[in-house]
Amino acid sequence: MASARWTHGPWHRARRGILALVLVGGLGACGTVPAPEAGESSSPPTTAGSTGTVASPTPSAPTPSATSTAAADGTSIIAADSQFGAVLFDASGQAIYVFDLETTAEPACYDDCAEAWPPVLTDGEPVAGTGARARLLGTTTRSDGSVQVTYNDRPLYFYAHEGKNEVRCHDIFLNGGNWYALQPDGEEAPKT
């Protein structure tokens, strides 16, 4: 009887709560690059070819989202500098990743995977912005009919718990496979 209270009592519930907080907190961490502290601003990122270590498109870019689009065109993909060299971002500064389990344009990341790694969607033909290569851009249709951007014939994703102008989830194993930032030549950024 005493052991039943121990495994289902207040201490056990508190332990489970602490574990849940650690797990949820870890979801946003994804990698070892520290996020800026409250009140601290991150230095403005720069597009590929200029100085700086964190990537960013223009300072007036819109808020990042899985469906960010240029005016009448599709989603704009750019290359910008990061701690892993030049990698791909959308026009708002959201880092873009590929899933190592996807070696063709056919998406395999759905359900819980797609909640953590939202697909880069487009309403029109994707647009090659600064540093991106138009010939490597393409699209694929997801099972729900939405159109996902591809690069070098691989579906593109954001990480849902990562802020604008951050590349914190490169070379990370999550949702059954490894995730990598993508270089402008279509190759995965070097492993960490």
CA 175 – CA 109 distance, rounded (Å):
8
The percentage of the chain sitting over the pLDDT mark of 90, rounded to a whole number, equals: 61
DSSP state at residue 135: G
Mean pLDDT, residues 2-31 taken together? 44
In tens, the pLDDT along 100-158 reads 999 999 999 999 999 999 999 999 999 999 999 999 999 999 999 999 999 999 999 99
Mean pLDDT, residues 97-102 taken together? 97
Token pair recorded at residue 119 = 């697909």
In tens, the pLDDT along 17-60 reads 433 333 333 445 676 444 333 333 333 344 443 333 333 333 33
Token pair recorded at residue 8 = 């289902």
pTM (predicted TM-score): 0.69
The DSSP code sequence of 148-176 is EEEETTEE-B--TT--TT----TTEEETT
- Note the pLDDT of residue 30: 77
pLDDT exceeds 90 at position 192? no
Strands 87-90 and 97-99: unpaired
- Note the pLDDT of residue 73: 79
Beta-strand ranges (E) seen in the chain are 76-80, 87-90, 97-99, 127-128, 137-141, 147-151, 154-155, 172-174, 177-181
How many whole angstroms from its chain centre is CA 188?
Answer: 14
DSSP reduced 3-state for 101: coil
- Note the pLDDT of residue 31: 63
Backbone angles phi and psi of 140, in degrees to 5: -145, 150
- Note the pLDDT of residue 102: 97
Mean pLDDT, residues 81-97 taken together? 97
More confident residue, 86 or 16: 86
Quote the mean pLDDT of the chain: 75
115: amino acid identity, one letter: E
CA 78 – CA 89 distance, rounded (Å):
5
More confident residue, 11 or 111: 111
Confidence at 177, pLDDT banded by 50, 70, 90 = very high
CA 51 – CA 83 distance, rounded (Å):
12
- Note the pLDDT of residue 69: 38
Tally of CA atoms within 13 A in the half-sphere of 114 that contains its CB: 15
Mean pLDDT, residues 161-165 taken together? 93
